[in-house]
A and B are shown apart, each in its own frame.
Chain A
């Protein structure tokens, strides 16, 4: 009875795991196949000899490298921006007393669960007024703040013993020095959590970039990939399309492979907010 239950349990787990990973394997397999193998029955999961031609086609027939550079620049600056603004705000909310503190914090939290589409029209009008439409800055500046990151950092800062800072204050350190010399070095675990969260968020963004830029040279990878699929839609070169998709996923998956535990913890932690 017990072994039967165990067998059932395991076959269910492994069975569903296969279903979950199948789309990724299918993508990878297609991306390495020649045109004849892509449409062959029965299905050939492992290409007879892996061909990297699809990757070459994706990169040369389409400015994938350029899109990737845009994505790296945009995501990188969003990470720096969000960390900068959030560290400062989180420190104030965790450590200082000031008028309106609670009200401002609750006000900030109100932004957590709102669908982006609710404010898309006035947002575009605002960006237009600020001359940020169709600029790289427009893909970055509006996203350099984050309620979630302020919240996560604040929780962590509140747990740091006050004595550490008091000693520094007596030594004559100002607030900025306390943050950079004392708080930040001991906050590495939460900063790496924040880094991972912002990286995945920034890299995968599609909706806002779609509205903010329509010049091809400003496309990020996600926009580029969607566009690549669209221009391909009459007679799709699935091999090249899957190669492009693999390239688009690669950075996030790489981070995940190396820091799996940390990534899962970070995302679960950010979802458990109250």
Chain B
């Protein structure tokens, strides 16, 4: 059968033209910007070598943002993964209202981060009318300032992040659980293994690749999804306690107009993402 040799290229052209203009080119351009000093408007860019990268080590705000980002991920990811793992294990189709429950757990995942940020600002209201304070007052716990309290702001964001991601992780885990052969559980039952033992000796080892996948993707996801939430709720405050890499990068670029330095931060973010992805690939190939 004769086929025009150009046809496949014509078919992929729309995607690749857009991909090149709006992804590939910006990516390389971004890298070249990390070596210059430039405010974004001036005609001339000053070449400064690697000094943008060196500056990172001395920039306390950057180190603070990096620290906050890591802290946020270290709280959110394990909390969300363990809660959703347990939930997916105990939520089987025999539970009454299985579909409805699944839907309720999943709902936070599909709504926008902006809407989530607005609703939680209302829940976290720092006076006696705030819903969370009302609920805690019921248990005799005093009023907290949540997003306005330097010691609680980050953990308040962690709670939002966990709430938002449980349902998604759960659905991935349910798919992983279904794939575990029933015969393994039956064999364990004959050997006398009960509830928790079954979970520890069969479910966890069999689910290891899925757990790893979920941990990696939620870590990467938590790196950049946090932008919208922070922007709507705390904008990095109080006193920089919720400043993240992505929000700091945004400020350096579009408030301070330091395009070169912002690009260097962007590449640190890029490097972290690539690193996490490589670790994930390595792990999956080993399996």
Q: Which A-chain residue is minimally distant from B280 (CB atoms)?
A: A113
From known contacts A92-B11, A108-B15, A267-B110, infer whether A241 and B95 are also in contact, taking CB-CB under 8 Å.
no
Q: How large is the interface on B (under 10, 10 to 19, 20 to 34, 35 or more residues)?
A: 35 or more
Q: Is the CB of A206 within 8 A of B171?
A: no
Residues of chain B contacted by A16 (CB below 8 angstroms): 83, 87, 105, 166
Number of A-B contacts (CB under 8 A): 252
Q: Nearest CB to that of B83 among chain A residues?
A: A16
Interface string of B1-16 (1 = CB under 8 A from A): 1010101110110111
Residues of chain A in range 68-123 having any CB-CB distance to chain B below 8 Å? 84-86, 88-89, 91-93, 96-98, 101, 104, 107-108, 111, 113-123
Cβ of B55 to closest chain A Cβ, rounded Å: 16
From A17, A85, A92, A248, give the contact of B105 (CB < 8 A): A17
**Is there contact, CB below 8 Å, between B112 and A204?**
yes
Chain B residue contacts of A43, Cβ below 8 A: 131, 134
Using an 8 Å CB-CB cutoff, how does the interface string of A249-260 with B read, 1 for contact, 0 for none?
Answer: 100110010001
Pair B19/A41 contact, Cβ less than 8 Å: no
Interface residues of B, dominant DSSP: helix
10 closest Cβ contacts across the A-B interface? A115-B224, A122-B29, A204-B112, A122-B26, A92-B11, A145-B18, A119-B26, A89-B15, A85-B14, A98-B8
Ordered by A's residue number, 18 sampled pairs between the chains whose C-beta atoms are within 8 Å are A16-B105, A17-B101, A20-B108, A38-B129, A41-B129, A42-B134, A88-B12, A96-B7, A108-B15, A108-B19, A118-B270, A122-B29, A123-B26, A126-B21, A207-B227, A226-B118, A242-B122, A274-B284
Q: Which residues of A approach B to under 8 Å, CB–CB?
A: 5, 9-10, 12-14, 16-17, 19-24, 26-27, 30, 38-39, 41-43, 84-86, 88-89, 91-93, 96-98, 101, 104, 107-108, 111, 113-123, 125-126, 141-142, 144-145, 147, 150, 169, 175, 200, 203-204, 206-207, 210-211, 222, 225-226, 229, 238, 241-242, 245, 248-249, 252-253, 256, 260-261, 263-264, 267-268, 271-272, 274
